[in-house]
Structure 1
Amino acid sequence: MTMFSNGFVTLQMPKDFEAIPTKDEFNDMYLVNTKIPMSIKFSTTPTLVGLPEIREDIEKNFKDNDRIDLILSDFIVINDIIYYMIVSSFSDGEKEIRRNEFLYVKDNNLYIFEYTYPYADRELDDFYLNVIRSLKIIVPKYIVENGEYRLNKKD
């Protein structure tokens, strides 16, 4: 089993996935598997709001975008932790794509798991839940104070 670690979190990386470098400040891990095909994105962003407010904003954005179909928007429990889950689909004109997102807030940090794969694929509940269950937060990535954020530098 391969583990991902950036000093802030550790995660189990699924077999047969390749890490793709990213320069996005908030994107911690981006993996692809061309055999499935599937991508996994794990991000951390600073936030001052909780999951209910995040859910409200996301659902409003979906209503304003007629290109994306919202399939499910609900709170679920994973490892005794409340996550907000969004399942959506969109078409690129040739094939339908499904995206499952799981959001979690702790210490003013929003942790986002995003799985994107062809809609026709079988359900992958155990697959993506195993990655989520492997999340270990070492320290918050961002410190949020006075309406601003900064990287939590370990001295």
Structure 2
Amino acid sequence: MTMFTNGFSTLTMPEDFEKIPPKDEFTELYLVNTKIPMSIKFLTTPTLSGLPEIMDGIEKNLEGNDRIDLVTSDFILINDNLYYMVVSSFSDGENQVRRNEFMYVEDDNLYVFEFTYPYADRELDDFYLNIIRSLKISVPKYIVEDGSYRINHQ
């Protein structure tokens, strides 16, 4: 079992996935498995919004997008923590693709897990829930104050 840590949070990485360098400041981990095919992203971003506001914003954005179908949107408990889960599907031109996103807010930090894979694949509930359940937050990465944020150097 391989672990990912950035000094702020730790989680289990699945076997047979290749680590890809992140392309933005908020993506902590980006993994790809071309055999499945599947990608996994883990992001941390500063936020002053709670999960209900995040849900409202995402649902409004998806309603206005004809290319993405909202499959389900709900709150769920994982490890006694409340997560917002949104499942959507879209076409990449050749295949129908499914994206499962799980969002959790703690200490003004939004933690996002994004799993993208072909819609035809079997359900992967245990696979992605085991990764999410492995999340351990040592300290919040971002300190949000006075309308801006900074990295927590504690």
TM-score range, shorter-chain basis?
Answer: over 0.9
Query: Any runs of at least 4 consecutive aligned residues in structure 1 with deviations exceeding 4 A, and if so which?
Result: none
Counterpart in the other structure of 2:33: 33
Deviation at 1:88, TM superposition (A): 0.2
Counterpart in the other structure of 1:52: 52
Unaligned runs of 5+ residues in structure 1 are none
Pairing 1:2-151 to 2, within 5 Å after superposition: 2-151=2-151
| TM-score, with structure 1 as normaliser | 0.98
Deviation at 1:153, TM superposition (A): 1.5
Deviation at 1:17, TM superposition (A): 0.8
| TM-score, with structure 2 as normaliser | 0.98
Unaligned runs of 5+ residues in structure 2 are none
SS of alignment partner, residue 153 of structure 1: coil
CA distance in 2, matches of 1:66, 1:110: 27
More moved, 145-154 vs 47-56:
145-154
Deviation at 1:18, TM superposition (A): 1.1
CA distance in 2, matches of 1:121, 1:46: 33
CA distance in 2, matches of 1:22, 1:52: 28
Letter in 1 for 2:70: L
Deviation at 1:107, TM superposition (A): 0.2
Letter in 2 for 1:34: T
| Deviation string, structure 1 residues 83-111 (Cα, Å, up to 9, x no partner) | 00000000022110000000000000000
| Deviation string, structure 1 residues 33-58 (Cα, Å, up to 9, x no partner) | 11111000000000001000000000
CA distance in 2, matches of 1:23, 1:54: 23
CA distance in 1, matches of 2:75, 2:7: 28
Identity among equivalent positions (%) equals: 75
Counterpart in the other structure of 1:153: 153
CA distance in 1, matches of 2:89, 2:50: 25
CA distance in 2, matches of 1:28, 1:141: 11
| Deviation string, structure 1 residues 105-147 (Cα, Å, up to 9, x no partner) | 0000000000000000000000000000000001101000011
